[in-house]
Amino acid sequence: MSCPPSPPDGRHYPLFVYGTLRRTQENFTLLRGYVMEAQPAAITGYALYHVNGCPIIVPGDHTVFGELLRFKPAVYTRVLAQLDDLERSAGRPAAGELHRALSVVQTGAEDTMAWLYRADGMPPGADAILIPHGDWVKHQLGRITNTRLNRYIDNEIQKGMR
């Protein structure tokens, strides 16, 4: 595995998270205790996709919503290295493979530089679904609601057939 990218100025940039690393999602447990601050944020110039069960962003003409996380200085380098492993950020990424990059993120009143995990393109043969509203949490809630609604409708149809 090659070394993850380092900021050119040595600063501890925050991390923009848009999928399973958000506070209400399953992989945030990996970050619990390491985050000093989290705030709502968005990034333009990307598109959010649901690919084989996972969120992925690629360059595009949409806005993606998420959170900006600032880590405790004592664990900053270690946390990013662990996240690089989680996101398979090694060497030159293949299409669809996530890698860490610096980008401008909007946090309401200001823009700030932050790390994010992105892909340069879709993996070949990927089952990709564009999430046009750009919010993974909203997308996941919609999937749960639709699943429950579908079960309810199926049950009602079954009752009507008896």
Q: 77, 12, 70: which is closest to 39 by C-alpha?
A: 70
**Domains, in order of start, for the chain:** 15-161 (3.10.490.10)
Token readout for 116 is 């994010």
**Cα separation of 118 and 23, whole Å?**
19
Cα pseudo-dihedral 40, 71, 33, 97, rounded to 10: 80
What is each CA distance from 62 to 32, 49, 65, 161, in whole angstroms?
30, 11, 10, 45
Give me the residues of the chain with pLDDT under 50, please: 1-4, 89-92
For 60-101, how does the pLDDT look when each residue is reduced to its tens digit (9 = 90+)?
999 999 999 999 999 999 999 999 888 874 444 555 688 899
pLDDT at 152: 63
Tokens 């932050």, residue located: 114
How would you classify the pairing of strands 54-71 and 35-51?
antiparallel
- Among 98, 120, 102, smallest CA distance to 19 is for 98
CA angle 9/13/56 to nearest 5° reads 120
Q: Are 9 and 77 in contact (CB under 8 A)?
A: no
Residue 41 pLDDT: 96
What stretches of the chain show up as alpha helix (H) in DSSP?
Answer: 76-86, 136-161
pTM: 0.80
Predicted local confidence at residue 7, as pLDDT: 62
**What is the rounded end-to-end Cα distance, in angstroms, of the chain?**
60
